[in-house]
Amino acid sequence: MAARIFPYFLVFMATLGVSHHPFFWDTIQLGSKHAQFFYETNFSSILLPEEMDSGHLPAFGMYLAAVWKIFGKSLPVSHFAMLPFLMSTVFFLQKIGGRLAGRRWGLWLVLLCLASPVLAGQAVLVSPDVALVCFFLMALWAIWEQGKLPWLTFAVMGLGLISMRGMMLGVALYFFYVFTGFRGDDGLKVPARKILPFLPGGLIALAYLFYHWKMTGWVGYHAGSPWAPSFERVGFSGFLKNILILGWRFLDFGQVFIALGLVVILAANWPGFTRWQAQLKALKNDSMLTQLLVLLLFVALVIIPPLVFYKGLLGHRYLLPVFLPLTFLFFYALQSLTKYRRALFLAVFFGLASGNFWVYPKNIAMGWDSTLAHLPWYSLESAMEQFLHSHDISYAAVGTAFPNIGPRKNMELNGVEEGFREKNLDENCYVFYSNVMNDFTDEEISLLEKDWQEVTRMERRGVCVILYKNPRQCEN
């Protein structure tokens, strides 16, 4: 019982520990800005202003605004609004783990998944991806348990309400659901019958997209949107570069240990040349292994193509729906070992968890929202703000980069309209630099280090913040 309860306690304490952290990275847009619009306009419109419209149904922002209406608008309320999704994620991981490895061993799947820097990094944010993971796992559990059609219907609706990726996952889950119940002589009966739980969510998503298109003239993004550059199509060389980056993502932040674990299991079970046909037949008869491979294939087919054909969509969090089935595959395959099962699990677990301490050199961009390595940022940023205030340096005098641009109310929910400006080294009196900011070019970093005066520097566990002063005289 204690082992079953521990992950819930861990999630609660983690939420409590970060409950005063400001919004960070994409959650400033997808959480704070969206929710503040609905909160301030009292839900007067389902459509967001164009400058913050992400193209999908903004249900997450509505949910957060509704929670604020009931409990008050604050950072702790925002973080604790994630608890239902986090607790549900633990619940469904326990259920899926039990199906993959039995009740006793299945509990370890929860800890393995929570050790993943990508999931852990998102779990400490007010992030719609936490809700997406929750609904994805709910749908998988409902499919595997059978007879849970209301749960499956609700999960697919939730996915469609969260984001475009949620809608795409709904499509992948439909094909997976068809596969799990398909027999060779069924013809089209199974696809037609299995579509029913997906209809409500699909119709809601399509209705919103059609309404959005009629009212705005676009779906997904438009040329004037702040994130339009991320949707620029890449040429052949850009495609090859994205393939390499994608490969890196599958190894980054400890994910390499999942891959190595699978290689070790494959080597341990390799039958030898003379028995490979018998082993292949045995694999075909392993329905769960087949289902996991098919699930991974379907999810990858809907998630990965948009990432490699466009310029800026290769964030780690976008691959969460692929990383999870890959982790399930490793965990299930692990049960085939009779020796060294625990040793391999612990090696992969600690290797994966170590990804939360991976910090690259300052000239290499990192997915800081997808690792617990970003946690020192909050106290360092606050300390830098206190330094600026104590030296009467105004926000307007300081240039910086994402994720620290704009009114402070968007990050801190403090009602302050002032905020740091986007950097312009030809005009700024001061520049607030951090290695958490990926938008400083190598040339800008070199210029700051060589030609600007370093006013103050603070560092903690791999994260640094530095205030530079323009070499020419400027007023505060």
109 pLDDT more than 70 = yes
pLDDT (tens digit per residue) in 275-325: 555 555 666 677 899 999 999 999 999 999 989 998 888 999 999 999 999
- The pLDDT > 90 percentage for the chain reads 79
Q: What is the mean pLDDT of the chain?
A: 92
Residue 188: band (very low, low, confident or very high) from pLDDT cuts 50, 70, 90: low
Question: What does the DSSP assignment read for 320-375?
Answer: HHHHHHHHHHHHHHHTT-SSSHHHHHHHHHHHHHHGGG----TTS---GGGSGGGT
Distance of alpha carbon 376 from alpha carbon 285, whole angstroms: 49
pLDDT, residue 7, reads 96
Residue 191: band (very low, low, confident or very high) from pLDDT cuts 50, 70, 90: confident
* pTM assigned to the model: 0.94
Query: Rounded mean pLDDT of 342-350?
Result: 97
β-pairing verdict for 398-400 and 430-434: parallel
pLDDT, residue 273, reads 46
pLDDT (tens digit per residue) in 377-414: 999 999 999 999 999 999 999 999 999 999 999 999 99
Are 154 and 164 spatial neighbours (Cβ–Cβ below 8 Å)? no
As a dihedral over the C-alpha atoms of residue 218, residue 222, residue 227, residue 231, rounded to 10 degrees, the angle is 90
